[in-house]
């Protein structure tokens, strides 16, 4: 049996879609609300279901963040951010300004802090999502690495290179304090206990 493998010609010929087209697909019923896809730089990306460790850490982070962010900010859990005109990721957590979260016309278009909890999605979170968040100017991006019980902290986005200038890895004994939400202090060990 002869099986064709994708070539670079295929990726060069792919048609990217916009957020507007993505929304029309949802409105037309082509994509259901329960579909596990996200629009990342014009491509619909299938997301894997969450395991219990992933869900548990999202719950812990949500509880810790909600307690301290105050009335000017809101914590969004797995809700869309409309970034640029070709991406609408649904990060595990995002801290946004309250007025952005309360808009009736659109999803928030930026965030102060975005957090992804990564098991099988680690490569996607480190590459495609980090590039997207940097290009969108998200000032701080965390990747909670389940396999290593660490948190990768990305700061100083450079939209011209789609990357972050500063990256540190906070080990299980360390403390997380986002520069964008300084009232927050999280002991990394508490996330993984």
pLDDT tens across 18-66, in order? Answer: 888 888 888 888 888 777 888 888 888 887 777 888 899 999 999 999 9
**Residues 19, 43 contacting (CB under 8 angstroms):** no
Largest CA distance in the chain: 62
Task: Name which of 72, 109, 80, 99 is nearest 183 in CA terms.
Answer: 72
Write out residues in the chain with pLDDT < 70, as ranges.
1-12
Instruction: Give the separation between CA 51 and CA 28, rounded to whole angstroms.
Output: 31
Please give the domain boundaries of the chain with CATH numbers for all domains: 48-192 (3.90.1570.10)
**Residues 90, 82 contacting (CB under 8 angstroms):** no
pLDDT at 10: 56
pLDDT at 19: 87
**Residues 138, 111 contacting (CB under 8 angstroms):** yes
Residue 150 has a CB neighbour count (10 Å cut-off) of 19
pLDDT at 1: 46
Angle, vertex CA 74, rays to CA 20 and CA 157, nearest 5: 65
Instruction: Give the separation between CA 169 and CA 185, rounded to whole angstroms.
Output: 16
**Residues 127, 143 contacting (CB under 8 angstroms):** no
């Amino acid at each position: 049996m002869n099986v064709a493998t994708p070539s670079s010609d295929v990726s060069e010929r792919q048609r990217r879609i916009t957020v507007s087209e993505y929304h029309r697909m949802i409105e037309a019923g082509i994509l259901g609300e329960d579909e596990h896809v996200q629009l990342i730089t014009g491509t619909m990306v299938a997301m894997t279901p969450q395991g219990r460790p992933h869900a548990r850490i999202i719950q812990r982070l949500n509880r810790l963040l909600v307690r301290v962010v105050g009335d000017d900010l809101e914590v969004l859990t797995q809700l869309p951010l409309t970034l640029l005109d070709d991406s609408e990721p649904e990060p595990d957590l995002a801290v946004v300004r309250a007025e952005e979260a309360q808009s009736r016309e659109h999803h928030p278009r930026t965030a102060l802090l975005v957090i992804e909890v990564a098991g099988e999605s680690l490569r996607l979170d480190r590459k495609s999502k980090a590039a997207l968040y940097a290009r969108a100017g998200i000032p701080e991006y965390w990747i909670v690495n389940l396999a290593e019980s660490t948190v990768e902290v990305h700061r100083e986005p450079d939209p011209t290179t789609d990357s972050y200038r500063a990256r540190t890895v906070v080990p299980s004994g360390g403390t997380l304090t986002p520069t964008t939400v300084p009232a927050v202090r999280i002991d990394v060990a508490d996330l993984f206990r």
